[in-house]
Amino acid sequence: MSHREDAIGGLRLAFLLGNPVSHSLSPLIHNAAFKALGIAAEYQAVDVRRTELPEAIERLRVGRVLGANVTIPHKETAVELVDDLTSDAAATHAVNTILVSEPGRLIGANTDVEGFSQPLKAYVDALRGGSAVILGAGGAARAAAFALLGGMGPRRLTVVARRRDQAAKLIEDLGSEDINNVLDRASFDDAAPAVRASQLIVNATPVGMAPKEDTSPWPTISDFHEGQVVYDLIYAPTTTRLMRDAESCGAHTIGGMPMLLAQAAASFKLWTGREMPLGAVRKALLGTF
Ligand code: NAP
């Protein structure tokens, strides 16, 4: 029996490694999926401090482990702690999923790239060749920038950050993907022309997240207009102030919940080889919001 078949046959574990993890919906999502498919596996969230990450990842090599998700603040450090990287993880310099590909061997993947791209599919033809802005320059912004360079082929892609060095590092790290030299950076103070001229605006900051639901990463409503898509990666609340502001100006909006489900489904498929039963997962999530 192969490791993968054995993994589906007996009780296996999958973990979320991050800090903090208590608010995470991932245990609910993955455990609902395991249950719906009759897979004898359990997903557990584990609070892991920075100094504990190497040992936590080492422990995945032994025992009945399918893999793990890695979240804030460990996605970049995890790159150095696995044996191999998928192309998405290598390009973004970030790992959000670890797969135990055979006993003891750890592959680092980044399913945030697939998760980000999936909800945009309906818009991508209309957006192709247009300009885009990403607010924020952290891990999610990296996944978004990589996905957009490959999928949207933007004329210009501006990364808006409050720390210039963070945006500069993102642009440097994604340099080999930026074959048309479209990556650009701006501060929040000088990004208004780019926001107004963009067909796609992505919020990859936590601004607007519960409990501070009345805040917005881009409070200037007059910069939004018809023909724009405003994609907020925040999933709690499911509709943010940014989305409401943009909708009031005629823009299309996408929230973070579809990305959350799509990145989870991609991780689940890596671990089990099965499609995530999204109906059962959505039902389990219903009580949460
Ligand atoms: P991260 O690595 O910590 O990056 C956050 C970015 O936002 C950084 O550039 C940070 O700048 C910036 N930022 C934070 N507070 C800010 C403020 N008040 N004003 C301006 N910029 C600010 O976090 P992440 O993993 O990329 O996550 C970012 C957001 O995406 C979170 O809301 C997260 O929930 C969401 N997300 C959603 C999904 C999904 O599946 N829907 C997946 C991943 C992430 P500094 O470094 O200077 O603070």
pLDDT digits (tens, 9 = 90+) for 267-281: 999 999 999 999 999
Instruction: Please give the Cα distance from 259 to 29 (Å, whole number).
Output: 13
Q: Cβ atoms within 10 A of the Cβ of 122, count?
A: 11
Nearest to 177 by CA among 90, 263, 237: 90
Cis geometry, peptide bond prior to residue 119 (ω within 30 degrees of 0): no
Please report the atom of ligand 1 found closest to the CA of residue 163.
47
48 C-alpha to ligand 1 centroid (Å): 19
- To the query of whether residue 35 is one of the catalytic residues in this protein, the response is no
Residue 1 has pLDDT above 70, yes or no: no
92 C-alpha to ligand 1 centroid (Å): 15
Q: What pLDDT, on the 0 to 100 scale, is given for residue 2?
A: 40
Q: Cβ atoms within 10 A of the Cβ of 220, count?
A: 11
Instruction: Please give the Cα distance from 260 to 161 (Å, whole number).
Output: 23
* Phi, then psi, of 67 in degrees rounded to 5: 160, -160
Instruction: Please give the Cα distance from 116 to 60 (Å, whole number).
Output: 27
Please report the atom of ligand 1 found closest to the CA of residue 264.
40
Nearest to 26 by CA among 287, 284, 289: 284
- What is the mean predicted confidence (pLDDT) over 67-73? 95
132 C-alpha to ligand 1 centroid (Å): 17
Q: Is 219 helix (H, G, I), strand (E, B) or coil?
A: coil
Q: Are 98 and 68 in contact (CB under 8 A)?
A: yes
Please report the atom of ligand 1 found closest to the CA of residue 208.
32
Give tens-digit pLDDT for 260-269. Answer: 999 999 999 9
> Beta partners for 67?
14, 99
Q: What pLDDT, on the 0 to 100 scale, is given for residue 287?
A: 73
Q: Tell how strand 65-70 and strand 97-102 pair up.
A: antiparallel
Give tens-digit pLDDT for 33-59. Answer: 999 999 999 999 999 999 999 999 999
Choice from 95, 233, 259 to test ligand 1 binding pocket (greatest atom count within 8 A of CB): 233
